């Protein structure tokens, strides 16, 4: 059966905002509109013909706006690949580890520059991890138990993808100590991250094995798309926030920049700046 052609404009916000749907539909040249959820508001302007100006105006009013193919279905997704730090979770784990020895500002500054794409990720990770030498292994568990918080909507998003038959993978430039716990907790099919060397219960300041960076993330997504894609489920989705997610975006069919750096936001298919991760699901029928 041939799928419907054309594009829809999906608009959503985390809180109630003034609505002018009739005017917005007219501005976007939409054939009509439908309410996906009343509160927080999610609406779809159907078969839009002039979306650009409407999208800009809606974004300025606090909505996340996505121009999506009318035929795109959640059931089309075979695999969804996620970044961990500042995407799946609200923290940067390496910065919190540094906080345990009072050097969070120094490490966080390097992290921020790396995520903006101003520093080579591999070299910046080696430098940051070296500063963690001597941190007790127990600090990692304390961070997971007391500081690690899932981003809003993370569980609902993953549940929706899993229910639609998609596999989820967690691909991170962070650390296996955290990704493995999240795999068990959230049902990821696979995780990839860096392994901190620990001897006598303390971090040595080194990473074991090859560092997972931008190329490694993209390779993982490509490998799992090759494994899971079928004619009925052809789409690979990538979600991230930093410069080391850009190659993964290129390997994906649909990419989402979640509260991302400007460079990353501009490279993604869609950007989620206001809502939680569950907003991603609404960009599919």
Question: Which residues are annotated as catalytic?
Answer: 83, 85
CB proximity list for 105: less than 8 A, separation 6 or greater: none
Cβ 228 vs Cβ 78: under 8 Å: yes
Integer Cα distance of 25 and 19 in angstroms = 11
Cβ–Cβ under 8 Å, residues 192 and 169: yes
Element of type H or E holding 98: helix 93-99
Q: Are 223 and 155 in contact (CB under 8 A)?
A: no
Spatial distance between the Cα atoms of 119 and 261, rounded to a whole number of angstroms: 14
* Strand extents, DSSP E, 31-104: 32-37, 42-46, 64-69, 77-82
Pairing of strands 270-272, 254-258: parallel
CB atoms within 10 A of CB 235: 20
Query: Quick check: 33 and 59 in contact, CB under 8 A?
Result: no
User: Are 240 and 219 in contact, with CB atoms under 8 Å apart?
Assistant: no
Closest CA to 118 of 243, 230, 26, 237: 243
- Up-side HSE of residue 239: CA atoms within 13 Å toward CB? 29
Number of Cβ within a 10 Å radius of residue 78: 22
């Amino acid at each position: 059966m041939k799928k419907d052609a054309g594009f829809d404009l999906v608009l959503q916000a985390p809180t109630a905002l003034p609505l002018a749907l009739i005017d917005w539909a007219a501005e976007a040249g939409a054939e009509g509109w439908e309410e996906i959820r009343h509160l927080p508001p999610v609406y779809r302007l159907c078969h839009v013909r002039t979306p650009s100006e409407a999208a800009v105006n809606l974004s300025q009013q606090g909505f996340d706006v996505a121009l999506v193919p009318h035929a795109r279905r959640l059931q089309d997704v075979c695999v969804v690949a996620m970044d961990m730090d500042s995407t799946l979770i609200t923290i940067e784990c390496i910065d919190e580890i540094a906080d345990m020895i009072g050097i969070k500002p120094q490490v966080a500054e390097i992290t921020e520059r790396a995520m903006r794409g101003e520093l080579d990720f591999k070299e910046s990770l080696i430098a940051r991890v070296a500063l963690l030498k001597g941190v007790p292994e127990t600090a990692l568990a304390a961070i997971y138990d007391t500081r690690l918080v899932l981003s809003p909507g993370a569980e609902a998003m993953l549940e929706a993808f899993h229910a639609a038959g998609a596999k989820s993978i967690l691909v991170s430039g962070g650390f296996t100590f955290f990704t493995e716990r999240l795999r068990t907790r959230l049902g990821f099919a696979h995780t990839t991250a860096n392994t901190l060397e620990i001897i006598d219960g303390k971090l040595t300041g080194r990473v074991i094995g090859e560092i997972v960076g931008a190329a490694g993330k993209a390779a993982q997504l490509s490998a799992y798309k090759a494994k899971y894609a079928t004619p009925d489920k052809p789409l690979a989705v990538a979600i991230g926030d930093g410069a080391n997610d850009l190659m993964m975006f290129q390997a994906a069919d649909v990419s989402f920049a979640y509260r991302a750096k400007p460079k990353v936001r501009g490279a993604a298919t869609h950007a989620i700046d206001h809502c939680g991760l569950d907003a991603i699901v609404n960009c599919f029928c």
